Structure 1
Amino acid sequence: MTKQLSEEQKGEKTIELIDIDELSKNQDNESKSRIMKGKTGLLIATIAIAMSSFHLFTAVVPMVSTKQRALHLLFALVLVFLLYPGRKKSNKGKPTIFDYLFATVSAISVGYLFVMFDTIASRGMSSTTIDLIMGAITMIVILEATRRSVGIELVILSLLFLAYAYLGPYLPGALAHRGYTATTLIEHMYIGSEGIFGIALGTSATYIFLFILFGAFLNGTGLSSFFTNGAMAIAGHRVGGPAKVSILGSAGLGMINGSATANVATTGVFTIPLMKKIGYSKRIAGGVEATASTGGQFTPPIMGAAAFIMAEMLGIPYTSVLIAAIIPAILYFLSIWIMVHYEGKKNGLKGIPKEQLPAFKPIFKERGHLILPVILLMVLLFMDYTPIYAAFFAIVATFLVSYLRKSTRMDFKTLLKTLEEGAKGGLTVAIATAVVGFIIGVVSLTGVGLKLANVILVLANEQLFLTLFLTMVTAIVLGMGLPTAACYIVGATVAAPSLIQLGVEPIVAHFFVLYFACLSAITPPVALASYAAAGIAGESPSKVGWTGFRLGIAGFIVPFAFVYSPELLLQSNDYLASGLALVSAIIGVFALATSVVGFFLVKNQIIESVLLFSASLLLIQGGIMTDSIGIAILALVFFNQLRRKKRLDIAIDNRKEVI
């Protein structure tokens, strides 16, 4: 599980370097998908490698979008039915006859659209009986694949939307509509451009899959280990060191995989035990890891799948989303960093002795070159290359750069394994975006999105703050148990329009929804990232969930701040205003963190925590008047605590003299 990277470290009493790839393999053994060997394993590996190869091919040789999406979904459905058991009691080592049957039927129904698409298009997208049969089968297998790989919650939500479309005439009040027949629904979902094979699946089939594959290539070369070991070398010796390692490592890994639970599973198996070892409680250790890992979904340059979908829905370059994400991500991780620092100071938790830690220089010398493909990706994106081309060239560069060091070299076997893992990593996103096509399709047919937006506006009396609050609640509730991408799409379709109607810029409104879609991973009662961390920490999921919620509190406040101060999303050419907003927000985040932890120079009195929290809200909101009041309150608490600290120090010195 561990290995040394250089001869310089042999014989020293150090914490050995972590092999993240090995930890990931161990975590895979505990996942709900099958781990198969032999002929079945070879079959699945072949299909997965073919899927990745197909996407690399279509990145440089474009295909008709619907056909490309159909093959993307075909591969995903077949692999899901072979990898994910239909029941928990099913044999996890071997697919059943029903699994093979579902896989075959999926290939036929989706493959039919691929083969017949030109014919269907030539007759004006009108359907025949066989079209409708294949469409109905496709919808059924997508729902079953979703149940297996994503969860029953998204299946229920999709069925509710389909029922709404069908039962329109029987619904009360503003929700009523003329209703749509089963034939119309199947046509719209299967053949239309706003259903299954619409924008959501299209984003998965192009940008998202390639970026997931890019992350798999980076993992294959060992960049994940570089991030974690580098974080250990940089921050391990500081106050609360392992917690800061968790923050840096999770931020680094989040930049290349964008999955909260995957981050927890990868870094948490190392950082959580270390945090417990130096004195952090189980709930704090689990909460820190869950909160830090969640931030990876909105951390540039490779954000979660939802960020690519946002760019596509808004019709803006991905670089615009990337730039807008910078300051909020900094504020989020800075808040967690300050909290764990003062939590450590409050409890006297020191870091790991520096002599026991690996040195950064040999780590960077051995694997620092693996950062080059990430830099290339950024350069290409800002040179206005499409994300598809940028990801393709970054993947090629990763393979070539790996040969600069023997320890990172990708041989043919590693290459095939990476292609296989990349395909498996993209399955849940592919299935989730396909089933979300049902929801998008119903919204486009019925206009329910605008109706629900109007309901939110009526409930909020068209007040911006109340509308923001209701949008937040909507996004969090929708996100309970759902993948972030699915939660974001539903939230952006249902809730974002209400904000836009009140004059909020579209990118700001969508970012607001995105943040709360991501933060649902640490929001009780269904906090998936916290639950994953709780399992590793050996603590109650509820305790870890509420602790993660407390540690991630900045993530719940910053979105309100950037609605009122869009400068925080760099949506203005006034760089001075953006700079002032950033400084104000940083001071506000500091006040917020010390308020939540209950410690600044000394342990907070209750009134001091209340004052610090009030100051944080004033500072994060921005504005000359609010900033001035916030800084004055912060200064008041500081000087009061400084006076108390001096008294405490004198008392301690007097006690020492007596002794």
Structure 2
Amino acid sequence: MADKNIHETLSEEEQQKILEKYDPESATRKVKGPLGWIIFIGLLAFSVFQLYASITQAIPRQILLSVHLGFALSLIFLLFPARRKTRRKDTVAWYDLILALISVGIGAYWPIMIDDIVNRVGTLTTLDLAVGTLGVLLTLEATRRAVGLPITIIAILFLLYAYYGPSMPGFLAHRGLEFESLINTMFFTSEGILGTPLYVSATFIFLFLLFGAFLVKTGVGQYFNDLALSIAGKRVGGPAKVAIFSSALQGTISGSSVANVVTSGSFTIPMMKRLGYRKEFAGAVEASASTGGQIMPPVMGAAAFLMVEFIGIPYWEIAKAAAIPALLYFSGIWIMTHFEARRVGLRGLTDDEMPDRKEVYQKIYLLLPILLVIVLLMSGISVMRAALWSIVGTIVVSAIKKETRLGLKDMIEGLVDGARTALAVAAATASAGIIVGVVTKTGLGLKLANGLVGLANEQLLLTLFFTMLTSLVLGMGSPTTANYVITSTIAAPAIILLGVPDLSAHMFVFYFGIVADITPPVALAAFAASGVSGGEPIRTGVNASKLAIAAFIIPYMFVLSPELLMIDTTIPYLIWMVFTAFTGMIGIGAGIIGFWFRKMVWYERIISIIAGLLLMYPEGMSDVIGLVLFLTMLATQMMTKNKGKYKLAENG
């Protein structure tokens, strides 16, 4: 029987408080009574509508997106208060009821007036102009409430740029869009709010969020923790490795770094602290691992589905390309936590603290729906069909045992939970559509791309560095989805201009948009982890950035050598690249932590890091030099490991 103390977790109430503090998507009202039932039915109807649309595929695109937007806006105004710190969260303000009703009208306008709108071909009536203006304003306000202020401000700045084009300085100047033309673009074309980002939200993303909600209902979240304990718990520094393994699995059903941190971290962080990890390090392990969940195939963050539309390649190609970088990312964190555990002398869990392995492995069937997703995507089936069949597969698999079986109540709650999770994504993608519309109409993307390349003097590494900084800055407070939309339309073209393949360029900005969640000073995932651990937030962020050092190196690797993304490569060369990269991560990890087989002196740390960087740089001579330095350091460490007081930890 496992020791219960070691597995204590935060209560659901404590988890919710942390989520509400650091994750705008979780700061919702808890409305009861008749209005609470109306909201519940609204969320259920939202999911039912999306399922019907996906199954039949009979609803015209603009009507689908308009109704999707109407559902999202009206429910956001009912669920999200105007101020997050409002005193009463169990009632809906009168003005929010009015905004919700107006939002219903906005969503219904296209279905009712579609023939007239199409026949007028861009000529707006007074009513069109009023509805379009309200649609833009309500989208911005809903985004502010459900997603946060940064992305809202960026969208507003882009609108102002579109309107005041002639007044812009230098190469940023353009003809400008008159107010009517601006509203027409934003609400009555496929280049604005009802554009590609919202389309991805209304199709791929929504269905995979439902898939995740149904999986959660089977109890797979707790199973991830138990499985991780069974596999990694007894190793050196076991709790940290449990956090890495569990968070990687959680990432397959969660698109939010903060939600992943709180859900998984409420279990792993207290366990790490009790076994001797520092507060900041324990929080950093969870934050870095949880952030990596968004790059973990087969179901990655929402931005990965946008990539399908932006690049025009199948989702499976993106998931396949992300596999090796994700493996290297989590390997890097694993290596560094291992060295830290050996440096401090932390033990693994004892047999009494471990779950019953037999019981854990008897529930391995809970992972079948995730395996089903992989098989379906590999088969070439559409992403929507893969998501739909995976939902069905989850229901079927859950019925194998009574304790995991989904009843009607569970399925209804899954539909409601999935819709609730989709609200913030819909708002973020709608605002992202504003940004895309402005970029398209003004040519801003090409202008900034040329400007960025010019600033870097057409040097690829310098262009990549500036692009990385842009992605990190934009990601500080903006959701990954919005960050990716901005950087993929502004920064990615700069890299592509220098001859980099589209997939490598888009994956580059995708990665750094995600890493922004652990990069100080904002570092939302690190702040959430500090809320669980009780550690200092900035120190937690700094530690998380160190642990996730691979995420700052790997994107450069797959730009310089696209073979790492399985683009035009051979198996032997791919194996060699993975081997040198993994070996390089060992060198870098040991150097940063300052411990390998024993404590390292300062010059050994520098040599170890240099060896690691040379091995990770995809070029023949650098691999040779790096390997020589690595083997020299390895031999030195092994020959002197028992000298002095720094001894090799047991159970390595």
- CA–CA distance in 2 between the matches of 1:222 and 1:248? 17
| TM-score, scaled to structure 1 | 0.94
Contact 1:327 1:569 in 2 (8 A): yes
Match of 2:27 among 17, 25, 32: 32
Deviations 1:118-161 (A, max 9, x none): 32113324321111110000101011101111111111111111
Deviation at 1:578, TM superposition (A): 1.3
Q: CA deviation at 1:592?
A: 1.3
Instruction: Pick the aligned partner of 1:542 from 538, 547, 562.
Output: 538
Aligned equivalent of 1:434 = 430
* 1:490 corresponds to: 486
Q: For residues 153-212 of structure 1, what are the alpha-carbon distances to aligned partners after superposition, in whole Å with 9 as ceiling and x for unaligned?
A: 111111111111111111111111111111110000000111001000000000001001
Q: CA deviation at 1:639?
A: 2.3
Q: 1:77–1:106: 8 Å Cα contact kept in structure 2? A: yes
- Quote the Cα distance in structure 2 between the aligned partners of 1:372 and 1:440: 38
Partner residue, 1:72: 68
The 1-side partners of 2:640 and 2:575 are apart by: 34
Q: 2:242 is matched with which residue?
A: 245
> Which of 463, 466, 472 in structure 1 is aligned with 2:468?
472
Deviates further, 35-44 or 620-629:
35-44
Q: Among 438, 456, 460, which residue is 2:456 paired with?
A: 460
C-alpha separation between the residues in 1 aligned to 2:8 and 2:408? 24
Q: Structure 1 stretch 108-117 or stretch 550-559: which is displaced more?
A: 108-117
Q: How does 1:115-134 map to 2 (within 5 A)?
A: 115-134=112-131
Give the whole-Å Cα distance in 2 for the aligned partners of 1:17 and 1:239: 18
Q: Spell out the pairing of 1:571-610 with structure 2 (5 A cutoff).
A: 571-610=567-606
Cα distance, 1:370 vs structure 2: 1.8
Distance 2:642 2:177 in 1: 74
Determine if contact 1:475/1:491 at 8 Å carries over to the other structure. yes
**Residue pair 1:476, 1:523 contacting (<8 A) in 2 also:** yes
Paired with 1:553 and 1:199, the residues of 2 have a C-alpha distance of 33
Q: Distance in 2 between matches of 1:28 and 1:524?
A: 19
Deviates most, 71-80 or 459-468? 71-80
Deviation at 1:239, TM superposition (A): 0.9
Partner of 1:263: 260
Residue of 525, 528, 532 corresponding to 2:528: 532
Q: CA deviation at 1:608?
A: 1.1
What corresponds to 1:186 in structure 2?
Answer: 183
- Amino acid in the other structure paired with 1:287: A
Displacement of 1:13: 4.4
Change in Cα spacing, 1:483 to 1:648, as seen in structure 2 (3 Å) is same
Match of 1:559 among 555, 561, 571: 555
Which residue is 2:220 aligned to? Answer: 223
Q: Which of 125, 140, 143 pairs up with 1:143?
A: 140
Give the one of 207, 211, 227 matched to 2:208. Answer: 211
Letter in 1 for 2:209: I
Distance 1:505 1:29, change over 3 A: closer
Determine whether 1:612 maps to 2:608: yes
Deviation for aligned residue 1:18: 8.2
Amino acid at match of 1:184: S
Among 331, 339, 342, the alignment partner of 2:328 is: 331
1:379–1:541 CA distance, 2 compared to 1 (3 A): same
Q: Is the 8 A contact 2:518 2:525 kept in 1?
A: yes
* 2:369 is the counterpart of 1:369: no
1:5 maps to none
Deviates more, 1:45-54 or 1:355-364: 355-364
- Corresponding residue to 1:51 among 46, 51, 75: 46
Greater mean deviation of Cα atoms: 334-343 or 633-642: 633-642
Output the CA distance in 2 between the equivalents of 1:356 and 1:177.
66
SS, match of residue 647 in structure 1: coil
Question: What is the distance in 2 between the residues matched to 1:151 and 1:652?
Answer: 50
Deviation at 1:53, TM superposition (A): 1.0
Q: What's the secondary structure of 1:404's corresponding residue?
A: coil
Contact 1:328 1:569 in 2 (8 A): yes
Q: Give CA deviations for 1:514-545 in whole Å, capped at 9, x if unaligned.
A: 00000000011111101110111112211111
Contact 2:7–2:267 (CA<8 Å) still a contact in 1?
Answer: no
Aligned length: 641
Deviations 1:544-576 (A, max 9, x none): 111111111110011001111111111124222
Unaligned runs of 5+ in 2: none
Structure-2 residue corresponding to 1:277: 274
1:299 counterpart residue number = 296
In 1: Cα distance, 2:208 partner to 2:155 partner: 27
> 2:558 is matched by which residue type in structure 1?
F
For residues 500-511 of structure 1, the aligned pairs below 5 Å read 500-511=496-507
Which one is further off, 295-304 or 620-629? Answer: 620-629
Is 2:299 the counterpart of 1:288? no
The equivalent position to 2:634 in structure 1, one of 635, 638, 641, is 638
Give secondary structure in 2 for the equivalent of 1:426.
helix
Deviation at 1:272, TM superposition (A): 0.7
Distance 2:4 2:72 in 1: 44
SS at match of 1:178: coil
Write the distance in 1 (CA, Å) between the matches of 2:10 and 2:228.
13
C-alpha deviation, 1:265, in angstroms: 1.2
Does the Cα contact within 8 Å between 2:203 and 2:384 map onto a contact in 1?
yes
The separation in 2 between residues aligned to 1:267 and 1:147, in whole angstroms, is 27
Secondary structure at the counterpart of residue 49 of structure 1: helix
Contact 1:492–1:510 (CA under 8 A) maintained in structure 2? yes
User: Which ranges of 4 or more aligned residues in structure 1 deviate by more than 4 Å?
Assistant: 12-30
Query: Which 10-residue stretch deviates more, 26-35 or 156-165?
Result: 26-35
Distance 1:341 1:460, change over 3 A: same
Q: Matched residues in 2 for 1:383 and 1:647: separation?
A: 56
Unaligned runs of 5+ in 1: 1-8, 654-659
The letter for the 2-side match of 1:72 is H
Q: Deviations over 1:442-474 (max 9, x none)?
A: 000000111111111111000000000000001
Residue pair 1:14, 1:358 contacting (<8 A) in 2 also: no
CA contact (8 A) 1:76 1:431 kept: yes
CA shift for structure 1 position 37: 2.5
Equivalent residue of 2:380, what SS?
A: coil
2:386 to 374, 383, 390: 390
Q: Which amino acid aligns with 2:398?
A: S
Counterparts in 2 of 1:32 and 1:26: CA distance versus 1, 3 Å: closer
Which amino acid is 2:340 matched to?
E
Determine if contact 1:29/1:35 at 8 Å carries over to the other structure: no
Tell me how far 1:17 sits from its aligned partner.
7.3
Query: Is the CA contact 1:167–1:179 (under 8 Å) kept in the aligned structure 2?
Result: yes
Aligned equivalent of 2:150? 153
1:361-413 Cα deviation digits (max 9, x unpaired):
21221x32222222222211111111101101110111122111100011111
Contact 1:51 1:423 in 2 (8 A): yes
Q: Which residue of 1 aligns with 2:37?
A: 42
Offset, 1:512: 0.3
Which position in structure 2 is the counterpart of 1:3?
none
Asked whether the equivalents of residues 453 and 494 of structure 1 are also in contact (C-alpha less than 8 Å), the reply is yes
Residue of structure 2 equivalent to 1:4: none
Asked if structure 2 preserves the Cα contact closer than 8 Å seen for 1:71 and 1:111, the reply is: yes
The answer to whether the 8 A contact 1:226-1:364 is kept is no
